Structure 1
């Protein structure tokens, strides 16, 4: 239906911050507490009200690029979530530490995507630049460009010092946290700022639940598409790209056929767009495991809707959507998760959302299986309904809605021709799924060198230097 589901910039930032925290294996208030400390440090350093706001936003969004390089981190470290937690808490075993050459490409992806997200949200240029340089160090030892002062914005130091204080204090206690931070003075961040932080560290942590200055209400109230959040979440698993958009559209169409009122249809589609928040907490290796999952893996997966439900705490204005989204995996016979609800507790919106999500998943390829044809997906879903897991009426509405959804397929193609050639759009679709040049070439029956030429042209036209950034921008522009 292509409905316009928008949220405020402030709501988008809070959701993105939560996804970043989950991606890093941190508590869901980690970025919020870091932001409050970063604001106090910026004010103490004489940054003023604007600098305070910039520090807050960089601290909240500095991990927003984590989903974009999760696949690379998983390949390099095995566990993208656990390895990141070990990195920032200084607990990574020596044998697992990687050299600059290995990690710099992942940092480049992270920084470019974070900066692009800030740009898409219309945040100030200082915030965008801070995010693009958030992993650079004072002495030039950071990543990905090895920039050094004065080419690193002060806001980077404000956010990173605050973040290190919050993370390391929780992991090691205040004294050890300050020792580790002071050891990096004039290396990761300026010694003068380290001294300011150390002088107020305990007081600032004690006050980290309250912001020292209010956000810019006017700027943060602007409306942006909720799809920004959905797309960023799905960068974590390239084969999942576009899934939440598909579920939202299908669920909204099905709800219209089922006669749900407009407000419920609107809530249903928005719930579909945020239902994947909790996926960020699960390592990629679990999602891509071959064969039957073990108990430990299932325990991680059962927490996915729990973490999605926690978004209602982070963004109370989306409470209804987060609650509905967290019930997507429940089943009528009580075999779903995480609350083990059954038919007596699941209303029509929940039944439609579950059926739409299942149908859309069946029609998309996964690492362990090919995509099913629509008729096959419909047959399988009807069999599940006959077995008591899905509501038969909801399944019928979803199947009927899917049959009328093809009319919009021409829109992205027509739009892409304004910026990309038809072949470039084909290549972009292939590489957005995580395919290598060779794999894309095989699917498109062209040579790898031709794919490489097209990729270079795509990067130039979209103003990107990484595949993840090109994918995110293409989704935002409706090119794929």
Structure 2
């Protein structure tokens, strides 16, 4: 689906899947080893139920990616509960015989179905973009279905629901409930949910083996990492840009931000005459520099004024969490380490390390300046976008004050070299009319139909018609899914 003119950074498929799982755990308020542990348990449960190698790998993959759509519905979650990260964490901890999400969002009317539809559609689209099997795509599009038919988004029941959905749900409940309430209470809660969320037989099989599996994980935590998926995905690659797009979905006004930073960083690296390997490294680091952003609730990011100290401290930890990702990302570990310098400053005023010039690698200084430049040129909840001249002047003054590397800033602001002609985008741009692209651009940034109507001087009903047409042409039903597809197609 990636647009033909875009630079594409190809990496190991399993590393991207693990990265998306890491982002999901941060966004759900879970420990960063939660999804790997759940995937391992799901694989063991599938094997115990008689699944073959392919089905076991599918069970583990679905478990790793089950939170892949959570950045997509973060804005809606924030409107419903305020703190989307703590809110999700609380919902997962609810002791009930039904889904914590269904119980916890009961007061929100159709919120459970709406949030589930956004999450599942994007999760399925991500799986498709990653080249996963149709079975895995289908499972990820039905993550919140229940055995009794009371789930979402389609109200499937019984055997209509893929077994990988059940194994992911059971393994997730076991890991969370055991951590919070102990083994006996965890088994009791799972027993209460049997025949409601998942089949009785599969729940019983999990309970029978749970003590042994949890002990194996505790005795050898590495079992929760590579497992058998290394063999299943050996030699398979995918685009790292999909991870950048998943990261940016959390905040509509961040749409395309990671890609822009990556392009700017690579331009600066070229101007500084870094070799091709280092250019590529800083480009890839820029694509993933926002991983840690998922740990901070949208209500903090959307604050229009100055942050209070507790909120600011959470923001300061964003690059820390990005750096922590390095431990789980295999071939991306070096890039994740560079990415953790995105907000450092040469004078020591940055975060989280408060590092100074001598301890910040050149790739980190490039990324820091590129991130700041891209942010200045885009609107934020606390300020309007700066014109290019004003942004450039501010960057230059910051460099003069020692808050950016002066050589890097000069390279960043240097006009790009003329590049060879790129493939025509006629087949893509003709997919949507110009007006549809205008509407899409604004809704991708979080604008309501009324706000779009006001900005484009058209009626809300006309906006609604254009939105419906965009959804039909992009084959999606939610704004988050439309944003994801349009970003990958270069339509924004």
Instruction: Give your verdict on TM over 0.5.
Output: yes
1:370 corresponds, among 364, 380, 384, to 384
After superposition, residues 62-81 of structure 1 pair within 5 angstroms as 62-81=66-85
1:445 is aligned to 2:449:
no
Q: Deviations over 1:192-233 (max 9, x none)?
A: 111101100011122233269622646453221111000011
Q: CA deviation at 1:17?
A: 0.5
Of 168-177 and 420-429, deviating more is 420-429
Please tell me whether the aligned partners of residues 91 and 104 of structure 2 are also in contact (alpha carbons under 8 angstroms): no
Which residue of structure 1 aligns with residue 20 of structure 2?
16
After superposition, residues 211-360 of structure 1 pair within 5 angstroms as 214-215=228-229, 217=231, 219-360=233-374
CA distance in 2, matches of 1:216, 1:351: 34
CA distance in 2, matches of 1:408, 1:125: 38
Q: CA deviation at 1:258?
A: 0.8
Q: CA deviation at 1:392?
A: 1.2
CA distance in 2, matches of 1:222, 1:465: 30
Count of equivalent residues:
478
Please tell me whether the aligned partners of residues 10 and 221 of structure 1 are also in contact (alpha carbons under 8 angstroms): no
1:166 is aligned to 2:170:
no
Please tell me whether the aligned partners of residues 323 and 337 of structure 2 are also in contact (alpha carbons under 8 angstroms): yes
CA distance in 1, matches of 2:17, 2:478: 23
Which residue of structure 1 aligns with residue 87 of structure 2?
83
Distance change >3 Å, CA 150–CA 405, structure 1 → 2: farther
Please tell me whether the aligned partners of residues 230 and 273 of structure 1 are also in contact (alpha carbons under 8 angstroms): yes
Listed as ranges, the gaps of 5+ residues in structure 1 are none
Q: Deviations over 1:395-421 (max 9, x none)?
A: 111111xx4389899989745423112
How large is the RMSD of aligned CA atoms in angstroms?
A: 2.2
CA distance in 2, matches of 1:409, 1:304: 38
> What is the TM-score with the length of structure 2 in the denominator?
0.93
1:189 is aligned to 2:198:
yes
Listed as ranges, the gaps of 5+ residues in structure 2 are none
Q: Deviations over 1:227-263 (max 9, x none)?
A: 1000011100000011110010011011111111111
> What is the TM-score with the length of structure 1 in the denominator?
0.95
Distance change >3 Å, CA 236–CA 214, structure 1 → 2: same
Q: Deviations over 1:334-356 (max 9, x none)?
A: 11111110112123222211111
CA distance in 1, matches of 2:423, 2:273: 27
Distance change >3 Å, CA 108–CA 364, structure 1 → 2: same
Q: CA deviation at 1:103?
A: 2.2
Which residue of structure 1 aligns with residue 471 of structure 2?
459
Of 364-373 and 265-274, deviating more is 364-373
After superposition, residues 76-155 of structure 1 pair within 5 angstroms as 76-90=80-94, 98-155=107-164
Runs of 4 or more above 6 Å deviation: 91-96, 405-413
Please tell me whether the aligned partners of residues 250 and 405 of structure 1 are also in contact (alpha carbons under 8 angstroms): no
Which residue of structure 2 aligns with residue 432 of structure 1?
444
Of 43-52 and 260-269, deviating more is 43-52
Q: Deviations over 1:135-162 (max 9, x none)?
A: 0100012122222112211111111001
Please tell me whether the aligned partners of residues 8 and 224 of structure 1 are also in contact (alpha carbons under 8 angstroms): yes
Distance change >3 Å, CA 460–CA 412, structure 1 → 2: farther
